Structure 1
Amino acid sequence: MFDNLVAEGYSLAQRDWRLTAVVTSLLPFVLTYLITSLRAFLAANNKGDSRSAPIAPYAVPFFGNLISFLYDNERAIRNALGRHAGDIPVRFRLANRKLTLISGTANVLAMFRGSRYLDSTEIIIITVDNAFGGAMAGNESYVRDDTGSRKEPLPGSRPLKMSDRIWYLQHKTVHTNLVGPPLVEIADRFVQYMGEELDRAIPASETDWVDVPDFYGLIQSTMFAASTNAIYGPHLIGLNPDINNDFWEYDHHVPTLFKLVPRLFAPKAYAVRDRLLAAIKKWQTHARANLDFNDPALEGVTWEEFYGSKMMRDRAVDFTGVTGMNDDVRPTFDLGLLWAANANIVPTVGWCLIDILMRPTLAATARAEIAALSPGEINMQALLTSPLLQSIYAEELRLRNAILIQRTPIVDTFKIGPWKFPKGDMIMASSWQEARNRETWNQRGRNGEEHDVEEFWAERFLVYKDDPLSGPRLVDAAKVKSGEEAEKAERAEGGEAAPPKFAPEKVAGQFIPYGGGENICPGRFYAKQEAMAGMALFLAKFEIELQLEPGRVLVPNKNQFGFGVMGPVGEIKARMRRRKVE
């Protein structure tokens, strides 16, 4: 029978040359897929203690997984992980680059703990080059710095002067200025400016309901203005009145720019980036003309109007000393900081408010919590103690965040468990996938109700002393004492249950919105204070009613997958009214 089929196929091919041409043209792709699938199977079943990660099978020679990754990276990652057990890494080939995706608590924590053998400079250079316009401005000043971000240069790196080590200088300046008094200054100013922005949007004298055609757009514009004025001072926006709208248009185009879509096919993306770079360049020129940042009188000054925060002034000093860092390159770095300061926290606060307002009981509880902790003016330190508000914030970071954390081994011997990772090939972890591991995350409420990992649950990160099964991590009920016994043992004085505890540490390695290790996000403390203040100010100042169309379900914009917290798709109508008691 098989011989007959072969003979018939051969006869058909002879009669129709077109079929032969099609089969011949498809053969390289079929063979490539079969070969890579076989290699993946063999690698996944290798029992050695120094294994190479299995490759994600692909059909297109040389390009590998590049096309599927560019088209839908979330699906590509999900499919790759679904082929193997959760702790088996998967290697992607993206044309001339290779990267390995890791997953699972143990693997992710091992990557963070191995920070001394890893570097993040490569992905930063790619981002500055592609998304922020560094390659077009001239990237020699930072591409030649291969010394890393630590104080001690990486072994085998170029012998650069300290003043030319831009990655170390940037790392040091940002980390030292987003803690202590400089952080307090920025956060206090954000609270002040955010209140002023909201009062301008809907004045206290306005007592009637006000229709808001785009509630999330209001959050974007007010938070961007408040945070930018707090960090950069008033003149960046003052000199460039359109920068608020331009920024959010640019944010929409960041994935396009990062993927290096040619200007011919994405003129709007490049045009808005050009406008932002010109705006920042104008602000930098204005600041230099009005303030000598080397003036000894500025020692200890945490904020002034021209550079704004001490962080921006220190960055200006650092960048001036870098060989080749000219007036066209400097704006690309400050555009990067502007994007980092807004692109994640604003959609996070947006989702916090949206999910609170869609649940009237939660909204009432949150308002009562805010009123008790922060009556009158915002008391940031008190708000930061709220288990509920912190849990809401963390839950949005879990549910809406899709950052791809990337590190590059700087040694030939880096391993995670039995898996070896070649020097120079990127390692990647996906916050989105780790946040959806049903074998790790708790989905059971205090009353036995289910809260799927794909759903918002305000109390997911709360641990109750009278409920040993509570908290973000899934607990084996067979290994704990009964809830009734625990409740009796953990009652507080007066017979009332002890208050819950916010416990993100229970899911270390699975909850990774800030990355981890030496290169953990330095802005996480400021971002959390922005979130607390943003929620508190909106909920304390206004009654807010979302007006969603019947049947509409709000979903994150997955076009931004891989770039952090994804905002909601589409405009959200609402109406707002000043609260009588603030």
Structure 2
Amino acid sequence: MPSTQQSGDDKAPSLADMVFETVNRHMNMYKGPDDGISVARSVLLLLLLVAAILFSLVIWIRGGKAKGQGRESDTEDVGVSTTKRNQKWNAPPAIPETIPFISNAIAYITRPKAFLERAAKTLSRTNLATFHLGPIPVTLVTGSAQVQSLFRSQDVSAERFLLLILENLRGMSKSDVAGFKADRTGRRRIPRTDDDDNSKRLWYRQAEIHEFIARPEVTATLARTFTRFFSAAIEETQPLGGDWVEDVRIFAFLKHEMGTAAVASLSGTEVLRRVPNYVKRFWEFDSVGLRLVWGLPRFLDPEPVRVRNAFHDDVADFLDEAFKQWDAKKKEREGRNEKEEDPDWEPIFGNRFTRLAQTFVRDIGVSRRGQAGTLNTHVLGINSNTIPLTAWALFELVKRPDLFAAVREEANTALIHDHGEEGMGEEGPQPRGGGGRGNHSRPSRRQFDLKKLVSLPLLQAVYTEVLRLHVAIYVTRQALRPTTIAGYSVAAGTLLQTPTSLAGRDDAVWARKPNYPPASEFWPGRHLREARSPTSSSPRLEFVPSARSADFFPFGGGPSICPGRHFAKQEIMLAVAMLVSRFDMEFVDWVYHDDHNGHARTSDREAKEDDRFFGAASVPPDRDMRVRWRRIW
């Protein structure tokens, strides 16, 4: 049983504080008359208190039954190892809380950043710390050796967390996930059990499809089509000819234009044409994603499920027609004895990866809503990460005109002339030059050499800094059997989470030299060094990775590492390079995201991370930067 004693900075907020914080947090997400909100607050408060009592009873009963049953190692092993029966139980220390099993769970759900900051005080004395999320024990894991061992261990798996994604985010039904729950063979090529029937190995088959998007030829196609769609958007919407556009909100621009280009590149143009306001509705879905996965039960917070289901159901209607269209084309080719068409990109499903993923879930009998959820969460995995990080990068560059100029100069060295044909090909629209929407006087023809661009040292350093500072996710595994980590005993079924944000802001890793600023500050110089060449009198910059993979893991690690990581890097660096090379930009002010009659409210401070998204992956800014810009090519 966790200790309830508090001392100094470890003191946890009271349960009443946590409950009222929960009420305020969730009620502020809805709009309505003041009297309606007051009633809703009261109802939610009552329900939360009842839920807290029920959770407490369940945990105490379970804890009483389990008392004395587990036995673990008391050795000082820094890695992950299976526990032997004759070893003693040595549980990790508990994160202090006011009400055992309750306070930390509410904090984790409602104030995730504040919760982790408090947990970090316990983790500063040990690499493991435990709390309960409802009836589920959760152990936070930090430290290079422990993280590295966790990623390599075969005694843990990511399937429990992935099931949460399938059920809560994709909206799959119980029958949809039944095959995944029954599959004990794991995601690796060699099955965990003796069952080698490949048709039943759903986790492995899914992993194979996810690995497809990591192939160089696939990411190259994604980058190429994204560049063409984003270039077309810039040239359609932004005038050329020396005039300044006075009211440009960077994050808002990226969410719409970059978001649309990324959807078209990954999932085709037809979904954008057939699903009204797809991009706008996608961002509504993104705003409730974390609440769907880790949030309150549906009866306490119904809005996320309503948003998810409405979005998925409309996309399901599109997929019905898309498969009819695709299957009809396939039947026509078969009638003519033609080879099956398998293009890298086509307008119905977009990239070949999406076609493979959607065919897989259809073939194994996933429901219409689950199929649509698959498409939408793949878009979520890209856009909800790349677009906020691109915004943060541009914020930092605009704030530092000298750095902006240096990145532009470097990016321009990767420009080449594209001699391709103008118009719509199998890979989407070719860029069109000209002065604004409908003016296509001459093609720009300038494109980036992708291989050269992603190897540019300063641009890599900027990318790495925003990734380090603004990705906050718990890389989650589950112990398959009683396990020992760093000498501490972990029971089978425990969720093991390693937070990227603690590793990304560790001064011991990122500010290890006297001249380095604190890890909390943006400074690309920590990833650069000057190198001298015998053929040149001037030093040149080199990108130098500043940390080991166990100290810097924004995309996770092990068999479940993010398969879209390569394209994410390319998309972010391409978007930054395209905008800094094509626009002069000047800072105007910071503004709130909401509009009032078409006008953004001015903020008295610059953007910070929006804590509501802490734990979802990249954390977007809670303010936008307004700039004036002019397009120069």
Taking structure 1 as reference, are residues 563 and 84 closer, same or farther at Cα in structure 2, changes over 3 Å only? closer
Does structure 2 conserve the Cα–Cα contact (< 8 Å) formed by 1:64 and 1:93?
Answer: no
Equivalent position amino acid for 1:311 in 2: F
Match of 1:209 among 241, 244, 258: 244
Does structure 2 conserve the Cα–Cα contact (< 8 Å) formed by 1:374 and 1:382?
Answer: no
Separation in structure 1 between the aligned mates of residue 484 and residue 566 of structure 2, nearest angstrom? 31
Separation in structure 2 between the aligned mates of residue 435 and residue 73 of structure 1, nearest angstrom? 16
Match of 1:570 in 2: 623
Separation in structure 2 between the aligned mates of residue 408 and residue 262 of structure 1, nearest angstrom? 22
Separation in structure 2 between the aligned mates of residue 388 and residue 170 of structure 1, nearest angstrom? 36
Q: Give SS of 1:545's match.
A: strand
Separation in structure 2 between the aligned mates of residue 146 and residue 560 of structure 1, nearest angstrom? 32
Does structure 2 conserve the Cα–Cα contact (< 8 Å) formed by 1:53 and 1:89?
Answer: yes
Does structure 2 conserve the Cα–Cα contact (< 8 Å) formed by 1:86 and 1:103?
Answer: no
Does 1:455 find its partner at 2:539?
A: no
Match of 1:88 in 2: 127
Q: Give SS of 2:413's match.
A: helix
Does structure 1 conserve the Cα–Cα contact (< 8 Å) formed by 2:358 and 2:375?
Answer: no
Match of 1:59 in 2: 98
Taking structure 1 as reference, are residues 299 and 138 closer, same or farther at Cα in structure 2, changes over 3 Å only? closer
Separation in structure 2 between the aligned mates of residue 443 and residue 135 of structure 1, nearest angstrom? 49
Does structure 2 conserve the Cα–Cα contact (< 8 Å) formed by 1:546 and 1:574?
Answer: yes
Match of 1:405 in 2: 475
Equivalent position amino acid for 2:310 in 1: R
Match of 1:301 in 2: 343
Separation in structure 2 between the aligned mates of residue 55 and residue 509 of structure 1, nearest angstrom? 24
Q: Give SS of 1:313's match.
A: helix
Gaps of at least 5 residues in structure 2 are 1-52, 78-86, 417-445, 591-602
Match of 2:220 in 1: 184
Q: Give SS of 1:506's match.
A: coil
Shift of 1:100: 0.8
Match of 2:188 in 1: 150
Match of 1:233 among 264, 268, 274: 268
Equivalent position amino acid for 1:556 in 2: E
Task: Output one character per residue of 1:496-535: Cα deviation in whole Å (capped at 9) or x when no partner.
Answer: 3543332226333121111111211111111111011101
Separation in structure 2 between the aligned mates of residue 451 and residue 419 of structure 1, nearest angstrom? 34
Q: Give SS of 2:189's match.
A: coil
Match of 2:279 in 1: 244
Match of 1:317 among 359, 363, 374: 359
Match of 1:381 among 443, 448, 451: 451
Shift of 1:278: 2.1
Q: Give SS of 1:460's match.
A: helix
Does structure 2 conserve the Cα–Cα contact (< 8 Å) formed by 1:213 and 1:571?
Answer: no
Separation in structure 2 between the aligned mates of residue 306 and residue 270 of structure 1, nearest angstrom? 27
Q: Give SS of 1:507's match.
A: coil
Gaps of at least 5 residues in structure 1 are 1-24, 466-490
Separation in structure 2 between the aligned mates of residue 137 and residue 571 of structure 1, nearest angstrom? 43
Taking structure 1 as reference, are residues 539 and 124 closer, same or farther at Cα in structure 2, changes over 3 Å only? same
Does structure 2 conserve the Cα–Cα contact (< 8 Å) formed by 1:137 and 1:328?
Answer: no
Match of 1:22 in 2: none
Taking structure 1 as reference, are residues 137 and 113 closer, same or farther at Cα in structure 2, changes over 3 Å only? closer
Equivalent position amino acid for 1:56 in 2: I
Match of 1:423 in 2: 492
Equivalent position amino acid for 1:415 in 2: T
Does 1:442 find its partner at 2:511?
A: yes
Match of 1:533 in 2: 574
* Percent of paired sites with the same residue: 23
Match of 2:113 among 51, 74, 93: 74
Separation in structure 2 between the aligned mates of residue 180 and residue 84 of structure 1, nearest angstrom? 39
**Structure 1 segment 491-502 matched on structure 2, within 5 A:** 491-494=532-535, 496=537, 498-502=539-543
Does structure 2 conserve the Cα–Cα contact (< 8 Å) formed by 1:137 and 1:329?
Answer: no
Does 1:100 find its partner at 2:139?
A: yes
Shift of 1:223: 1.4
Shift of 1:367: 0.6
Match of 2:257 in 1: 222
Equivalent position amino acid for 1:189 in 2: T
Match of 1:511 in 2: 552
Separation in structure 1 between the aligned mates of residue 389 and residue 274 of structure 2, nearest angstrom? 28
Does structure 2 conserve the Cα–Cα contact (< 8 Å) formed by 1:547 and 1:574?
Answer: yes
Task: Output one character per residue of 1:240-294: Cα deviation in whole Å (capped at 9) or x when no partner.
Answer: 1301111112211222222344556655533332232023212311221111369
Q: Give SS of 1:423's match.
A: coil
Q: Give SS of 1:330's match.
A: helix
Does structure 1 conserve the Cα–Cα contact (< 8 Å) formed by 2:479 and 2:495?
Answer: yes
Match of 1:364 in 2: 405
Q: Give SS of 1:556's match.
A: coil
Match of 1:198 in 2: 234
Taking structure 1 as reference, are residues 436 and 506 closer, same or farther at Cα in structure 2, changes over 3 Å only? closer
Separation in structure 2 between the aligned mates of residue 128 and residue 117 of structure 1, nearest angstrom? 22
Match of 1:326 in 2: 367
Separation in structure 2 between the aligned mates of residue 83 and residue 269 of structure 1, nearest angstrom? 33
Q: Give SS of 2:406's match.
A: helix
Separation in structure 2 between the aligned mates of residue 62 and residue 576 of structure 1, nearest angstrom? 52
Q: Give SS of 1:548's match.
A: strand
Taking structure 1 as reference, are residues 140 and 423 closer, same or farther at Cα in structure 2, changes over 3 Å only? same
Equivalent position amino acid for 2:383 in 1: N
Shift of 1:145: 3.1
Separation in structure 1 between the aligned mates of residue 529 and residue 288 of structure 2, nearest angstrom? 40
Does structure 2 conserve the Cα–Cα contact (< 8 Å) formed by 1:149 and 1:167?
Answer: yes
Equivalent position amino acid for 2:406 in 1: T
Separation in structure 1 between the aligned mates of residue 106 and residue 457 of structure 2, nearest angstrom? 43
Equivalent position amino acid for 1:177 in 2: I
Separation in structure 1 between the aligned mates of residue 198 and residue 630 of structure 2, nearest angstrom? 55
The two structures have a TM-score, normalised by structure 1, of 0.81
Taking structure 1 as reference, are residues 138 and 168 closer, same or farther at Cα in structure 2, changes over 3 Å only? closer
Task: Output one character per residue of 1:186-225: Cα deviation in whole Å (capped at 9) or x when no partner.
Answer: 1110111111112222133x53111335321101111111
Superposed CA RMSD: 2.9
Q: Give SS of 2:496's match.
A: strand
Separation in structure 1 between the aligned mates of residue 617 and residue 359 of structure 2, nearest angstrom? 29
Separation in structure 1 between the aligned mates of residue 123 and residue 582 of structure 2, nearest angstrom? 50
Q: Give SS of 2:463's match.
A: helix
Equivalent position amino acid for 2:454 in 1: L
Separation in structure 2 between the aligned mates of residue 298 and residue 279 of structure 1, nearest angstrom? 29
Does structure 2 conserve the Cα–Cα contact (< 8 Å) formed by 1:461 and 1:503?
Answer: yes
Deviates more, 1:385-394 or 1:210-219: 210-219
Does structure 1 conserve the Cα–Cα contact (< 8 Å) formed by 2:453 and 2:573?
Answer: yes
Equivalent position amino acid for 1:457 in 2: W
Taking structure 1 as reference, are residues 508 and 150 closer, same or farther at Cα in structure 2, changes over 3 Å only? closer
